[in-house]
Amino acid sequence: MTIAFSLFAFGLFGLVAINIRRALEQVEERVEVRAFVSDSADIESVAAAMKDVGEFPEVRRVDYVSKEKALERARKEMGEFADVFEAGVLPASIEVHLRPGMRSPTIVKSVADRIRTYQFVDDVRYGEEWVEKLYRLRNIATVAGIALGVAFAAVAVIIIGATIRMTVLARAKEISIMRLVGATDMFIRLPFLIDGLVKGVLGGLLALLFVWAANRVINEYFIQTIFFDREMIFVGVVGGALMGVMGSLVSVGRHLRRI
Amino acid sequence: MIRLTDVAKEYPRSGVALAQVSFEVKKGEFVFLTGPSGSGKTTILKLLYMDDKPSQGEVWINGVSSKSASGREISKLRRRIGIVFQDFRLLEDRTAEANVRFALEVTGAPKATIRPKVARALTQVGLASKATSYPRELSGGEQQRVAIARSLINDPFVLIADEPTGNLDERATRGVFQLLRDINASGTAVIMATHDLDLVRRSSYRTIELNHGRLVFDSAESPASARPPDEPFEAFDTPSDSMRPI
């Protein structure tokens, strides 16, 4: 149970981490470069430019937003102030959506600069400030995530090691006799390694169950969250098993010398 | 077979336990290790079954040297050494038979050979009828016999006994000692550390005496007398007088 709880803490952390990452990714998807097209631009140039830009390695999709569409959008966003905008006020634009991983401030700026070179482009906007803030936040979240993840994993290993150590101490007399009559170190260690492995896997599965239950409760009463996908679950259980084995190796190794 | 050469042992906290100890034990010998508490008897025995390594010098036993022995070699060596302690070191939650069997199980003996070997060992120590008893149901002497049976199970070439009669009354002591003599008579060397000078005096076995970690007397090197000059000689029962097992 101790192992399950320490892995549960690790799992909860994991759940929080992946949900924060998802939230950040969703925000990142809104990173786009918008190039405002001058009224005098001819449609062939714009179309050719759009094809060009679409082939940039950083670009996922290029959309054309006509004046009418721009007006419609603005009116929708403004809601009750919809009549603020008159027809013809808002320019047409090219919306450039970037691929995931290509949304750092430097890349976005470089794409924007390239688009700026087209003659018919009046202005290019990409929300420079908040792109930078978002990127910084993402980096902090990643580093913090890794650091906390390692800390939680270390705690889980220590707790598993302590649990195994208690088992070793309880069997100290038996182990000392095994050594006296000539049992090899591996013969003595193996049952404990297997014990650690089993405890790690079972603890991991139990922790997974707790985390799943917690996730259900959160979804029911608070906010929508995502759960781990199959790969993550597999990695998690294997991770639990590895932590179990490691915890055993460390504590048995240390105590084998003392008995 | 067993050779200690200039062996010294020092512990960081308690200091020198042994200094310049050298002696040899031949095949089939019976050797008493005597001396007051703290003289180094237990330390020598620990070095013999390689529970520890000497700070200086070399312990050589049946082809295995303390200078180069690997963990695996030590495990293999211990299968050929029988070890018996004052506190018996039996597993309380197992029967006499299971205690003896334990030594074979944990050393990977083929399953088919275990039962007959265990039966033979218990018979040899006179406890065939107590195979299913737990240690708490046995007397001190009987428990020590179980421990001896366990130590004999792999046909050791030497039996190391650290104060085997230390916790026993006189009757049990004589019974266990007789058993050790019988084992020795069948070819197994015996090295027995003991406080019991009475036991030592009443037999004619080789005696090595230690004091403050040094070897002060070895009867093998004083062929004229088998014991220190001022000790009276009193013959003990010969091995052929069988004692009722205790």
A176 contacts B89? CB cut-off 8 A: yes
For residue B246, the model assigns a pLDDT of: 45
Average pLDDT over residues A78-92: 73
Min Cα distance A187 → chain B (Å) is 7
Q: List pLDDT tens digits, range B64-117.
A: 999 998 888 999 999 999 999 999 999 999 999 999 999 999 888 899 999 999
For residue A148, the model assigns a pLDDT of: 85
Task: Assign a CATH topology to domain A32-125.
Answer: Alpha-Beta Plaits (3.30.70)
Which residues does A106 contact at the CB level (< 8 Å), separation at least 6? none
Q: List pLDDT tens digits, range A141-177.
A: 888 888 888 888 788 778 777 877 787 788 888 888 9
Q: How far is CA B182 from the centre of its chain?
A: 13
Residue ranges covered by each domain of chain A: 2-24+134-258, 32-125
- Report d(CA B3, CA B56) in Å as an integer: 14
Examine the pLDDT at B234 and tell me if it is beyond 60. Answer: no
Which residues does B117 contact at the CB level (< 8 Å), separation at least 6? B104, B109, B153
For residue A27, the model assigns a pLDDT of: 78
For residue B243, the model assigns a pLDDT of: 41
Half-sphere exposure at residue B47, Cβ-oriented, CA atoms within 13 angstroms: 29
Q: Is A90:A123 a contact under the CB 8 Å cutoff?
A: no
Q: List pLDDT tens digits, range B119-129.
A: 999 999 999 99
For residue A46, the model assigns a pLDDT of: 86
For residue B22, the model assigns a pLDDT of: 93
Examine the pLDDT at B229 and tell me if it is beyond 50. Answer: no
Q: Is A96:A126 a contact under the CB 8 Å cutoff?
A: no
Contacts of B62 in chain A (CB under 8 A): none
B77 contacts A182? CB cut-off 8 A: yes
Examine the pLDDT at A30 and tell me if it is beyond 80. Answer: no
Which residues does A181 contact at the CB level (< 8 Å), separation at least 6? B78, B79, B83, B102, B103, B106, B107, B150, B154
Residue type for B95, please? T
Examine the pLDDT at A76 and tell me if it is beyond 60. Answer: yes
Which two tokens mark A154?
């270390």
Interface test mutation site (partner A, options B106, B107, B158, B160, max chain A beta carbons within 10 A): B106
Q: List pLDDT tens digits, range B185-223.
A: 999 999 999 988 888 988 889 999 999 999 999 988 865
DSSP letter at B231 equals S
For residue B185, the model assigns a pLDDT of: 94
Distances (CA, A) of A25 to A19, A29, A144: 10, 6, 17
Chain B residue with minimal CA distance to A174?
A: B91
Chain B residue with minimal CA distance to A191?
A: B106
- Report d(CA B152, CA B125) in Å as an integer: 10
Q: Is B208:B23 a contact under the CB 8 Å cutoff?
A: yes
A179 and chain B in contact, CB less than 8 A: yes
- Closest partner residue to B79 (CB to CB) among A176, A182, A188 is A182
A184 and chain B in contact, CB less than 8 A: yes
pLDDT level of residue A91 (50, 70, 90 thresholds)? confident
A179 contacts B154? CB cut-off 8 A: no
Indicate the pairing of strand B81-85 with strand B158-162: parallel
List the one residue out of B25, B156, B183, B141 whose CA is nearest residue B82. B156
Chain A residue with minimal CA distance to B76?
A: A182
A185 contacts B75? CB cut-off 8 A: yes
A78 and chain B in contact, CB less than 8 A: no
Which two tokens mark A47?
């179309």
For residue B206, the model assigns a pLDDT of: 94
- Report d(CA A161, CA B13) in Å as an integer: 29
Higher pLDDT, B235 or A119: A119
B102 contacts A177? CB cut-off 8 A: yes
B72 and chain A in contact, CB less than 8 A: yes
Beta bridge partners of B160: B83, B191
Examine the pLDDT at A212 and tell me if it is beyond 90. Answer: no
- Report d(CA A98, CA A87) in Å as an integer: 29
For residue A256, the model assigns a pLDDT of: 67
N- to C-terminal Cα distance for chain A?
27
Average pLDDT over residues A89-101: 84
List the one residue out of A152, A161, A196 whose CA is nearest residue A8. A152
Average pLDDT over residues A182-198: 85
Which two tokens mark A175?
């182990």
A179 contacts B76? CB cut-off 8 A: no
- Closest partner residue to B91 (CB to CB) among A173, A179, A187 is A173
B71 contacts A185? CB cut-off 8 A: yes
Examine the pLDDT at B240 and tell me if it is beyond 60. Answer: no
For residue B121, the model assigns a pLDDT of: 93
Average pLDDT over residues A7-30: 80
pLDDT level of residue B232 (50, 70, 90 thresholds)? very low
Contacts of B49 in chain A (CB under 8 A): 180
Mean pLDDT (chain A, rounded) = 82
pLDDT over 70 percentage in chain B: 90
Pick the most confident of A9-18, A29-38, B190-199, B213-222: B190-199
Contacts of A188 in chain B (CB under 8 A): 106
- Closest partner residue to B78 (CB to CB) among A174, A176, A182 is A182
- Closest partner residue to B75 (CB to CB) among A174, A176, A182 is A182
A180 contacts B49? CB cut-off 8 A: yes
- Report d(CA A221, CA B28) in Å as an integer: 82
Residue A32's SS3 state is strand
Contacts of A258 in chain B (CB under 8 A): none
Structural domains in chain B plus CATH codes: 26-52+62-80+157-246 (3.40.50.300), 92-155 (no CATH)
Chain A residue with minimal CA distance to B48?
A: A180
